[in-house]
Structure 1
Amino acid sequence: MTIAFACVLIAGLLPIVAAGIAKFGFKDFDNSNPRQWLAKQTGFRARANAAQANTFESIPFFFAAIAIAAITQAPQERIDFLAVIYVLARIAFIVCYVADWPKLRTAVWTVALAAIIAIFFQI
């Protein structure tokens, strides 16, 4: 497994991490209606849920970039490096979202997007 493929796996798990942050340690969590419960949350729980949604939105573009890079046999070291940058930026994005650091969140979101675009320029 390449580093880039491992990053695909990690990226796929990040929304689950964000959802876990939103739900963690809350005694009144309603697992019968989790989306309705989450829609009523405020503060860091609402932000973690928003981070989950945004992370899900970002994943297809990243997955496509990695798949196309693999198919076209783009330079693996560069693809691996950019995939790691993407994953680290998305982790930082979740942290920034939960912590309510909007300016830094936008900056790391931009880094993640730039990493995906850079993968396409390796193809």
Structure 2
Amino acid sequence: MSIELKMLAWSILLGLAYVLVAGALVTAKRGLAWNAGNRDAPVEPLTGPPARAQRASANFLETFPFFAAAALAVVVLERATPHTAFAAQLYFWARLAYLPVYIVGIPYLRTAIWACSLWAILQLVWALL
């Protein structure tokens, strides 16, 4: 299996971790009854780590489809190179670092990590052009 596909598989698992971490932090804040309930009643907006975890999860879901499409296209079109392998790995590791940095609340580092993951996607796309 190519590195690009391995990183895609690991990124799928990482995406699930984003969702689970955000869900756990929100449940810790609002309670199990809220989580298990219908969530029809209005609630206070989240703040702090639970809110940041939810935003990080949404951000992952915004970038992941682009990464997945680019990684799959690179493999299917046989455009994989050491450069695309590095780009796929960079995307995964940047997204792995992004979640704790965002939850802790380190703004400029968070943005730099996000930029690395975006650059990685662009490098995969560049290999297709």
What TM-score, normalized to structure 1? Answer: 0.85
2:37 to 32, 43, 67: 32
How many residue pairs end up in the alignment? Answer: 123
Contact between 1:51 and 1:94, CA under 8 Å: does it hold in 2? yes
Q: Distance in 2 between matches of 1:31 and 1:8?
A: 31
Instruction: Give the aligned residue type for 1:49.
Output: Q
Residue 10 of structure 1 corresponds to: 10
Shift of 1:33: 4.2
Instruction: Name which of structure 1's ranges 80-89 and 11-20 shifts more when overlaid on structure 2.
Output: 11-20
String of CA shifts for 1:31-74, please: whole Å, max 9, x gaps.
3347x899743210111111111101101110111111112211
Residue 115 of structure 1 corresponds to: 120
Instruction: Give the aligned residue type for 1:44.
Output: P
Secondary structure, aligned partner of 1:75: coil
Secondary structure, aligned partner of 1:74: coil
Instruction: Give the aligned residue type for 1:3.
Output: I
Q: Does 1:59 align with 2:64?
A: yes
Distance change (3 Å), C-alpha of 1:10 and 1:39: farther
Instruction: Name which of structure 1's ranges 100-109 and 72-81 shifts more when overlaid on structure 2.
Output: 72-81
Gaps of 5+ in 2: none
Greater C-alpha radius of gyration: 2
Q: Distance in 2 between matches of 1:121 and 1:55?
A: 21
Q: Does 1:23 align with 2:23?
A: yes
Gaps of 5+ in 1: none
Instruction: Give the aligned residue type for 1:10.
Output: W
Q: Distance in 2 between matches of 1:37 and 1:116?
A: 38
Secondary structure, aligned partner of 1:73: coil
Shift of 1:22: 2.5
Secondary structure, aligned partner of 2:127: coil
Distance change (3 Å), C-alpha of 1:71 and 1:96: same
String of CA shifts for 1:80-114, please: whole Å, max 9, x gaps.
21100000011111121111011111101001000
Contact between 2:95 and 2:114, CA under 8 Å: does it hold in 1? yes
Distance change (3 Å), C-alpha of 1:75 and 1:3: closer
Residue 42 of structure 1 corresponds to: 47
What TM-score, normalized to structure 2? Answer: 0.81
